[in-house]
Amino acid sequence: MLTIGTGNKAVAAAVKAAKPGVVAAYPITPQTEIVEQLAEYVTTGELESRYIPVESEHSAMAACIGASAGGVRTFTATSSHGLLYMHEMVHWAAGARLPIVMANVNRALGPGWNTWAEHTDAFSQRDTGWLQVFVGTVQEAYDATLMAFKIAEDERVLLPVMVNLDGFTLSHIMQSLETVEIGDFLPAYHLPHAIDTENPCVYGPMTGPADYFRFRWDIERSMRDAKGVIADVEREFAERFGRSYGPTEDYRCEDADVIVVAMGTLGKEAEVAVDRLRDEGIKAGSMRLRWFRPFPDLDLSGREVVVIDRDYSFGFGGVVAHSIRSKTGIVPYSVIAGLGGQEVTYNDIADFVRNRHPGEETWFGVSDHV
Amino acid sequence: MPGGGGAKLSLQMVTNVDERSVNNLSAIPKEEYLYKCTSACAGCSSSLCLRYVLKAAGPDTVLVVPACCTSVIQGIYPGTAMNVPVYNIAFAAAAACASGLSDALSARGKETNVIVYAGDGGTVDIGIQSLSGAFERGTNFLYICYDNEAYGNTGMQRSGSTPLGARTTTTPGGKRTAKKDLDRIVEAHNPPYMATACSAYPLDLYKKVKKALSIEGPKFIHILAPCPPGWRYPTEKTVEMGKLAVKTGTWILYEREFGKLSINGPSKAAMRKPAPLEDYINGQGRFKNLSPEIASEIRQQVERNIQRLSREEAGIC
Ligand SMILES: Cc1ncc(C[n+]2csc(CCOP(=O)(O)OP(=O)(O)O)c2C)c(N)n1
Ligand code: SF4
Ligand SMILES: [Mg+2]
């Protein structure tokens, strides 16, 4: 059905379609609309689910862990401080191999209090064993959330998935949204190691180094297998519903001399910048990185690369810039921009390309090339 | 009534007739859900309690265990001493994990018992927020706190539940503040059922677990669980130490059903005429060299608690 909606509403609509048995949630700006909308669906009976209004995000993830292990599909949503507050349980969910889906509405971290978009919250969880996808449109927020359940629950994966959308610039903006009849796209929830009193097992007991090490390797193996599963699910989604996605969204990259790599809404903004640059005769392209974990294999050979990081690892550099560098060997021009919701327009992005200094780093509007 | 009729018959009475009629240890089911191969210390009473809790709960039970001695007692992967599913979870998260699990099982149409078995630290300190949240939400589960009055797992540091004067590895000079009154905190959530118990009275514990599990909603049992290495007494005195806690009125056995308090068995007599407090305190190394002031304050705390509960039971407010 064609409608219009915000990023938050799109996520909630997708969750309704996925019919989780348990939703455990705690409000935080700019995510709150998702959990309010789900509470509404549950109250009106549009979604038959147990809604657990927990007292903290640590408990939200703990409740999702209990519910997922207890044999039902499970969802939560959070942002920023909420994500950091549940950090211990974020690790636990992946280690326990539970296909929980969580929407994270990307937001900056205090102090000072800032509810605007930034990706540092998600990147602070990058080593937890969660799959992470970043979306750029309302439609993609819906589609990626639906696919997240299928990817997470695939027996080759059995890892949780975090769907990231930018605070306000996506969570609160209206775009067209086509909802789908999912039919049997999502099979019934089946967790091979669900708790079963007929077959009593102990979960997460004390574990010695040799076994522990094997379990960690198992997570990594599934992360690697997840690349294929993601591709399969995205292909099936395209066949059924007509919208296709990949590890990156490439725009005018084929013949590009210089490629802008960005994530989330800045990645969409970059497409407009590319059109402007092309008008000026600069052969630019844009590559919006969708999947961050597992990190995709990128082909950027022979191009100049400008990376926009809406995040920072203090004392090190932009997380995406360094990931690109270590995965491709290309030394990009690293632009740190948009922290705490700093406005970055397509004109600004075009400027980054026009004034690029390969190998250097710039804090947009704050520092010169360093 | 059961007891004399042999194990088989008694077992039937336990499972089929009136659970409350179990008044003899031999009537407790012979099935074991906690095997003998645990890694608990010699004389550990909290593992003893777990054994009785599980006998009362039976096989259709899932245990949720935060970081505590019970995470260790189970054994090391791939071995286990447990014969019911156990979900180990982070230190602060047991009640919240149990919330999700309880809802998931009921969404699947199951009536499985969900029981948290947590230490005092995981309950009165780091886990109190999730405990409070789960009780406020009316989660259908049983939360059991076994109270060895310190952080046993990490080597006997103080907890909020460590009593005044007790020496732990982080209160080498004796704890200077009183034991946190967990029961009054839980009571403030108005649960349909809450009770205290003590490892030295397993039948009482067994009955309380049975009763708790027959009630819908959040239930709570607080078990005093003497701990030889922590309390510094010889391992063979574990049962005696529990009995002394009750007989001196230091630990009072009661139930609170829908708010109504009833003092149980041995505590009735103990509250009328408590045994000398020294009998309890002098047998424990953790209370060695108590100053007279602290000893007197401990005595007053015990008396105040006895008075408060006696008055409440008698309906005097
Ligand atoms: C977040 C966190 N902080 C600290 C610890 C270390 N830790 C594990 S068990 C424990 C103490 C448990 O004490 P209690 O709950 O009383 O149970 P007991 O060990 O006495 O059975 C501590 C401090 C931990 N596992 N997690
Ligand atoms: S430290 Fe105490 S509670 Fe822990 S296993 Fe040993 S005896 Fe039991
Ligand atoms: Mg303890």
Token couple for A43: 């109250």
Q: Is B285 in the pocket of ligand 2 (CB under 6 A)?
A: no
Q: Closest by alpha carbon to A180, among A20, A40, A23, A13?
A: A13
Choose the closest CB to A208 out of B76, B90, B102: B76
CA B153–ligand 1 middle distance (angstroms): 6
Residue A297 has pLDDT above 70, yes or no: yes
In terms of CA atoms, which chain B residue is nearest residue A25?
A: B100
Contact B280, B245 (CB under 8 A): yes
pLDDT at B9: 30
Chain segment B90-123, per-residue pLDDT in tens: 999 999 999 999 999 999 999 999 999 999 999 9
Give residue A370's pLDDT band: very low, low, confident or very high (50, 70, 90).
Answer: low
In the reported structure, the alpha carbon of residue B290 is separated from the centroid of ligand 3 by a whole-number distance in angstroms of 22
Q: How are beta strands A284-289 and A248-251 bridged, if at all?
A: antiparallel
Sign, CA torsion A106/A109/A112/A118: negative
Angle (nearest 5°) at CA B191 between B188 and B196: 85
Give the whole-angstrom CA distance, residue B96 versus residue B212.
19
State the Cα–Cα distance between residues B151 and B128, nearest whole angstrom.
15
Please give the distance, rounded to the nearest whole angstrom, from the Cα atom of residue A163 to the centre of ligand 2.
Answer: 43
Which of A116, A48, A117, A107 is closest to A83 using CA atoms? Answer: A107
Average pLDDT over residues A216-241: 98
Q: Kindly list the domain boundaries of chain A, sorted by start residue.
A: 2-241, 251-363
pLDDT for residue B88 is more than 60: yes
The pLDDT of residue A239 is above 70: yes
Residue B19 has pLDDT above 50, yes or no: no
C-beta separation of A298 from A320 below 8 A:
no
- The partner residues of B58 in beta bridges, in order of sequence, read none
- Residues 246-265 of chain B with CB under 8 A from chain A are none
Contact across the interface for A204 and B87, Cβ inside 8 Å: yes
B257 pLDDT higher than 70: yes
Q: Which residues of B touch A60 (CB under 8 A)?
A: 96
Is B148 close to ligand 2, i.e. is its CB under 6 Å away?
Answer: yes
- Categorize the per-residue pLDDT at B37 as very low, low, confident or very high, splitting at 50, 70 and 90: confident
Confidence (pLDDT) at A346: 98
**Distances in Å between the alpha carbon of B209 and those of B31, B50, B154, B195, B212?**
16, 11, 28, 9, 5
* Tens-digit pLDDT profile for residues B300-315: 999 999 999 999 999 9
Q: Is A32 left (phi over 0), alpha (psi -120 to 50) or beta?
A: alpha
Q: How confident is the model at residue B26 (pLDDT cuts 50, 70, 90)?
A: confident
Per-residue H/E/C for chain A: CEEEECHHHHHHHHHHHHCCCEEECCCCCCCHHHHHHHHHHHHHCCCCCEEECCCCHHHHHHHHHHHHHCCCCEEEEECHHHHHHCHHHHHHHHHCCCCCEEEEEECCCCCCCCCCCCCHHHHCCCCCCCEEEECCCHHHHHHHHHHHHHHHHCCCCCCCEEEEEECCCCCCCCEEEECCCCCCCCCCCCCCCCCCCCCCCEECCECCHHHHHHHHHHHHHHHHHHHHHHHHHHHHHHHHHCCCCCCEEEECCCCCCEEEEECCHHHHHHHHHHHHHHHCCCCEEEEEECEEECCCCCCCCCCEEEEEECCCECCCECHHHHHHHHHHCCCCEEEECCHHHCCCCHHHHHHHHHCCCCCCEEECCCCCCC
pLDDT band at B154 (very low <50, low <70, confident <90, very high): very high
Please report, rounded to a whole number, the percentage of residues in chain B having pLDDT higher than 90: 90
CATH level 2 (architecture), domain A251-363: 3-Layer(aba) Sandwich (3.40)
| A290, A243 contact by CB (below 8 A) | no
* CB-ligand 2 contact for B40 (6 Å cutoff): yes
The neighbouring-strand residues paired with A336 are A309, A363
Q: What's residue B316's pLDDT?
A: 86
To the nearest whole angstrom, how far is the Cα of B187 from the nearest Cα of chain A? 19
**Interchain contact, A89 vs B93, CB within 8 Å:** yes
User: How far apart are the C-alpha atoms of A305 and A99, rounded to whole Å?
Assistant: 35
As a whole number, the mean pLDDT across chain A is 98
For residue B119, give the ligand 2 atom closest to its CA: 3
Q: What is the whole-number distance in angstroms between the Cα of residue B89 and the centre of ligand 1? A: 11
- Which among A39, A17, A16, A15 has a CA at the least distance from the CA of A26? A39
| 3-class DSSP state of B196 | strand
To the nearest 10 degrees (0 to 180), the angle between helices B94-107 and B128-136 is 30
Distance from residue B293's CA to the centre of ligand 3 (Å)? 26
- The CA distances from residue B69 to A59, B19, B62, B91, B182, in Å, are 22, 30, 18, 11, 19
The domain limits of chain B are 30-313
Q: pLDDT value at position B22?
A: 57
ipTM attached to this prediction: 0.96
Give the pairing of strands B193-198 and B218-224: parallel
- For residue B54, the distance in angstroms to the closest alpha carbon of chain A comes to 13
Report the run of H or E that residue B184 belongs to, with start and end: helix B182-187
Instruction: Find chain B residues with C-beta within 8 A of A210's C-beta.
Output: none
| Residue with CA closest to ligand 2 atom 3 | B227
Q: How confident is the model over A310-325, as a mean pLDDT?
A: 98
Q: Ligand 2 within 6 A of B232 CB? A: no
Determine which helix (DSSP H) or strand (DSSP E) holds B257, and give its type and residue range.
strand B254-257
Mean pLDDT value of segment A311-333? 97
Q: Which residues surround ligand 3, an ion (CB under 5 A)?
A: B 119-120, 148, 152
Predicted local confidence at residue B60, as pLDDT: 98
Average pLDDT over residues B74-81: 95
The CA B43 to ligand 1 mean position distance, Å, reads 20
Residues in contact with B24: Cβ distance below 8 Å, sequence separation at least 6, in sequence order: B2, B3, B10, B203
Residues of B in contact with A92 (CB under 8 A): 89-90, 93
Across-strand partners of B270?
A: none
- pLDDT of B1 strictly over 90: no
Return the residue matching tokens 């919208």: A243
Asked if B63 contacts B82 with a C-beta cutoff of 8 angstroms, the reply is yes
Q: Find the residue in A nearest to B104 (Cα).
A: A67
Nearest to B93 among A59, A205, A207 (CB): A59
* A211 contact partners, CB below 8 Å, separation of at least 6: B77, B78
pLDDT by residue (tens digit) across A23-47?
A: 999 999 999 999 999 999 999 999 9
Quick one: average pLDDT of A252-277? 98
At B315 the three-state DSSP class reads: coil
pLDDT at B15 over 70: no
CB contact under 8 A, A197 and B62: yes
What is the distance in angstroms between the Cα of A174 and the nearest Cα belonging to chain B? 33
Residue B308 confidence (pLDDT): 97
What H or E segment, with its residue span, contains residue B131?
helix B128-136
Backbone phi and psi for residue B220, each to the nearest 5 degrees, phi listed first: -140, 135
**Rounded Cα gap, residues B287 and B295, in angstroms:** 9
- Between chain A and chain B, the number of residue pairs with CB atoms below 8 A apart is 162
Query: Right CATH number for B30-313 from 3.30.70.590, 3.40.1050.10, 3.40.50.970, 3.40.50.620?
Result: 3.40.50.970
Strand order through the sheet with A131-134: A50-52, A22-24, A74-78, A101-106, A161-166, A131-134, A291-293
Q: Is the domain defined by A2-241 classed in CATH 1.20.1080.10?
A: no
Identity of the residue in A24, A55, A65 whose CB atom sits nearest the CB atom of B129: A55
- Can you give the pTM of this predicted structure? 0.96
Q: What is the rounded average pLDDT for all residues in chain B?
A: 92
Contact B59 A204 (CB under 8 A): no
The answer to whether A82 and A31 are in contact (CB under 8 A) is yes
Q: Does B109 touch chain A (CB under 8 A)?
A: no
Contacts of B76 in chain A (CB under 8 A): 205-208
